[in-house]
Amino acid sequence: MSWALIPLTEEQRAIQQTAREFANAELAPHSARWDRDASFDRDVVKKLADLGFLGMMIPEQYDGLGLDTCTYLVALEEIAAVDASVAVLMSVHNSLPTQMILRYGSEAQRTHFLTKMARGEWLGAFALSEPDAGSDAASLTTQAVRDGDDYVLNGVKAWVSHGSMADVILCMARTDTPAERKGARGISTFILTPDMVGLTTGKKEDKMGLRGDPTVQLALNDLRVPSANLLGEEGMGFVYAMQSLESGRLGIAAQSIGIARAALEASVAYAAERKQFGKAIKEFQGIQFKLADMATKVTASRALLHAAAAAKDRGQPVTQFASMAKLMATETAMWVTTQAIQVFGGYGYVKDYPVERLFRDAKVTEIYEGTSEIQRIVIARELYAKS
């Protein structure tokens, strides 16, 4: 049921098939264990890399596949339909750190970092949030102070997806002084590597869902970062992060559609098997209406996402469309997984069937890379900007 209303090209269908076969063979047998133990096999990163899935939108000159956004999202949906934790790793790496280095990095940074990231030898993470700076990310307080040829960073970054496994971390920190606070324009982006003295992994969060992808705090204590690792211009780091989050939000929308689709497919199959009152529950109109609404929302979310991705690939500004696509797909994922549990009845509430995990995995999509409330703020702001 991964039909796209907007037809896929032959190349997109081939990549979709590759992603689906990979997910079923390499992820499906392990997903329940990774979820139960909050663990993850690093081997998966190597396997994703072998398929080119960690450099999908990076040009071939930097060893990427040079594909468009839509093709990347088709592959991501297939991964998410089987394992949403692996999908968030793939989404963050492809949408945030690699795109930031590609768009704003120097040629030396692209050659050094991007080629290895495109080949999947180095995994990327994105460190914007802090314990006291979430939706209001521009209020972050991690401080970077210039000292000769280096910057010295102090602070705590929070909620860093696979931050404990990452080889390259794009970290936002203040470069304005407390006396000259410049708000969002006082923030710069630094490229960190785990070998840097003063960078330590802190608390690993014990999460409701997405338990395969470790979410950690990072402590920066007198962390010395060479000025060569400043990304782009000083003071532009927040702008870079926000621009890259547009791609990120499309990725989270694809992840959400994968989760919702998996819940729909499981529900359709279960409703045909489960018998009550002498017949399969799919014969009851109450169940049919639920399945119909679930399928409609999944299809509408995917159509909006693919249209937004196509607009991005045409070079159109997509701030509003990316927020709409994320808002619709993530709320669809939460709603559809809730309905799926209802279709399964008591069996939906236990771990014997996959819908219980899908429901837990769906919730975070409404929270990270901008909550649903923040997406609505962005959409409304653009309405007034356009008028």
Active site residues: 369
159 binds ligand FAD (CB under 6 A): yes
Which helix H or strand E contains 325, and what residues bound it?
helix 319-344
Give 136 or 149: the residue with its C-beta nearer to ligand FAD.
Answer: 136
Give 52 or 124: the residue with its C-beta nearer to ligand FAD.
Answer: 124
Instruction: Give the C-alpha separation, 109 to 136, whole Å.
Output: 29
How far apart are CB 100 and ligand FAD at their closest, in Å?
A: 12
242 binds ligand FAD (CB under 6 A): no
Select from 24-32, 47-55, 123-131, 310-318 the region that touches ligand FAD (CB under 6 A): 123-131
User: What is the chain's Cα-based Rg?
Assistant: 21
92 binds ligand FAD (CB under 6 A): yes
How far apart are CB 277 and ligand FAD at their closest, in Å?
A: 41
Give 133 or 281: the residue with its C-beta nearer to ligand FAD.
Answer: 133
Cβ-Cβ contacts under 8 Å for 296 (sequence gap 6 or more) = none
Q: Do residues 259 and 331 lie in contact, with contact meaning Cβ atoms separated by under 8 Å?
A: no
Which of 339, 374, 163 is closest to 259 using CA atoms? 339
Give 80 or 343: the residue with its C-beta nearer to ligand FAD.
Answer: 80
Q: Do residues 302 and 346 lie in contact, with contact meaning Cβ atoms separated by under 8 Å?
A: no
Select from 8-16, 126-134, 224-232, 313-321 the region that touches ligand FAD (CB under 6 A): 126-134
User: Strand pairing partners for 74?
Assistant: none
**Relative orientation angle of helices 69-82 and 84-95, to the nearest 10 degrees:** 160
> Following DSSP, what letter does each residue of 36-105 receive, concatenated?
HHT---THHHHHHHHTTTTSTTS-GGGTS----HHHHHHHHHHHHHH-HHHHHHHHHHHHTHHHHHHHHS
- Extract the tokens encoding 286: 């109450």
Which of 357, 378, 364, 366 is closest to 30 using CA atoms? 357
94 binds ligand FAD (CB under 6 A): no
Residue of this chain nearest to ligand FAD (CB atom):
134
Select from 23-31, 98-106, 344-352, 360-368 the region that touches ligand FAD (CB under 6 A): 360-368
367 binds ligand FAD (CB under 6 A): yes
CA dihedral (261, 245, 157, 237) in degrees, to 10, reads 170
Give 201 or 371: the residue with its C-beta nearer to ligand FAD.
Answer: 371
- Extract the tokens encoding 171: 């970290």
Give 91 or 109: the residue with its C-beta nearer to ligand FAD.
Answer: 91
How far apart are CB 5 and ligand FAD at their closest, in Å?
A: 30
Amino acid at 375: Q
Select from 69-77, 222-230, 242-250, 371-379 the region that touches ligand FAD (CB under 6 A): 371-379
User: Strand pairing partners for 215?
Assistant: 161
Select from 20-28, 40-48, 58-66, 362-370 the region that touches ligand FAD (CB under 6 A): 362-370
135 binds ligand FAD (CB under 6 A): yes
Give 128 or 343: the residue with its C-beta nearer to ligand FAD.
Answer: 128
300 binds ligand FAD (CB under 6 A): no
Q: How many residues bind ligand FAD (CB under 6 A)?
A: 20
Q: Which of 161, 188, 337, 375 binds ligand FAD (CB under 6 A)?
A: 161
141 binds ligand FAD (CB under 6 A): no
Q: Do residues 355 and 283 lie in contact, with contact meaning Cβ atoms separated by under 8 Å?
A: no
Binding-residue pattern over the window 205 to 224 for ligand FAD, x denoting contact by CB under 6 A: --x--x----x---------
Q: Do residues 130 and 217 lie in contact, with contact meaning Cβ atoms separated by under 8 Å?
A: no
- Extract the tokens encoding 44: 């998966």
How many angstroms separate the most distant Cα atoms in the chain? 79
Binding site for ligand FAD (CB under 6 A): 92, 126-129, 134-135, 159-161, 207, 210, 215, 364, 367-369, 371, 373-374
